């Protein structure tokens, strides 16, 4: 009977990682422009802008409290997975849209009630992740873009990386506990560059 293990030097197969999908900057703009005219347009625009500007998970977005958003300083405080807290900067444009929603719509949605949550439903309660998911898919359908909250988060990270941001900063903004989770975006960006090269280089 053999005492040594014949498999001890074999390497286990690498874990297959599903590459995140991301839409282009142009498609993000088309999606944002599709949010107009409806009774909840101010809220929906503020939410989508904030998600794209900060890379929040959908659960983090709908659970944001008014006190978590510092509009004067330009950042949001997020409680992510494992109750880990992080601070994420947001753009002036996003701050402007959140201010507009808070001044012109939020109080009317509350109908005299009070809520610590930033984003409110038609019933005057905190918006659910399922409802926001349905909402964003509907706006995507209007302009022919397959989109979800997860796609917006991936687009945030991919566009930052393509713009020159370093992985450590992206890791902190996304709330990843392990840098290896964030590194998958380097593969996404490399794949995109390869496709551009093969399409436009005369000798490719």
Residues 150 and 136: beta-carbon distance below 8 Å? no
The catalytic residues are 57, 81, 150, 153, 176, 185
Please tell me the predicted confidence (pLDDT) of residue 81.
80
What domains sit in the chain, N to C, each tagged with a CATH number? 25-196 (1.10.443.10)
Please tell me the predicted confidence (pLDDT) of residue 197.
67
Residues of the chain with pLDDT under 70: 1-20, 188, 190, 192-193, 196-197, 200-204
pLDDT tens sequence across 114-136: 999 999 999 999 999 999 999 99
For the chain, how many residues are written? 204
The secondary structure element, H or E, covering residue 142 is: helix 129-143
Residue 130: partners with Cβ closer than 8 Å, 6 or more residues away: none
Instruction: Please count the other Cβ atoms lying within 10 Å of the Cβ belonging to residue 70.
Output: 13
Please tell me the predicted confidence (pLDDT) of residue 168.
85
Please tell me the predicted confidence (pLDDT) of residue 178.
79
Q: What is the DSSP string of 153-183?
A: HHHHHHHHHHTT--HHHHHHHHT-SSHHHHH
Please tell me the predicted confidence (pLDDT) of residue 46.
97
141 φ/ψ angles, rounded to the nearest 5 degrees:
-60, -35
């Amino acid at each position: 009977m053999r005492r040594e293990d014949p498999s001890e030097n074999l390497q286990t197969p690498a874990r297959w990682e599903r590459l995140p999908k991301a839409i282009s900057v142009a498609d993000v703009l088309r999606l944002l422009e599709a949010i107009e005219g409806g009774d909840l347009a101010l809220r929906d625009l503020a939410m989508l802008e904030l998600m794209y500007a900060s890379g929040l998970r959908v659960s983090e977005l709908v659970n944001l409290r008014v006190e978590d958003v510092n509009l004067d300083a330009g950042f949001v405080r997020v409680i992510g997975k494992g109750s880990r807290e992080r601070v994420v900067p947001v753009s002036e444009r996003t701050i402007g849209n959140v201010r507009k929603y808070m001044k012109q719509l939020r109080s009317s949605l509350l109908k005299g009630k009070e809520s610590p949550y930033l984003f409110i439903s038609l019933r005057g309660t905190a918006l659910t992740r399922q409802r926001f998911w349905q909402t964003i898919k509907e706006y995507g359908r209007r302009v022919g873009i397959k989109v979800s909250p997860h796609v917006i988060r991936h687009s945030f990270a991919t566009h930052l990386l393509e713009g020159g941001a370093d992985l450590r900063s992206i890791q902190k903004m996304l709330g990843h506990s392990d840098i290896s989770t964030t590194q998958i975006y380097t593969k996404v960006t490399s794949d995109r560059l390869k496709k551009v090269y093969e399409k436009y280089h005369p000798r490719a």
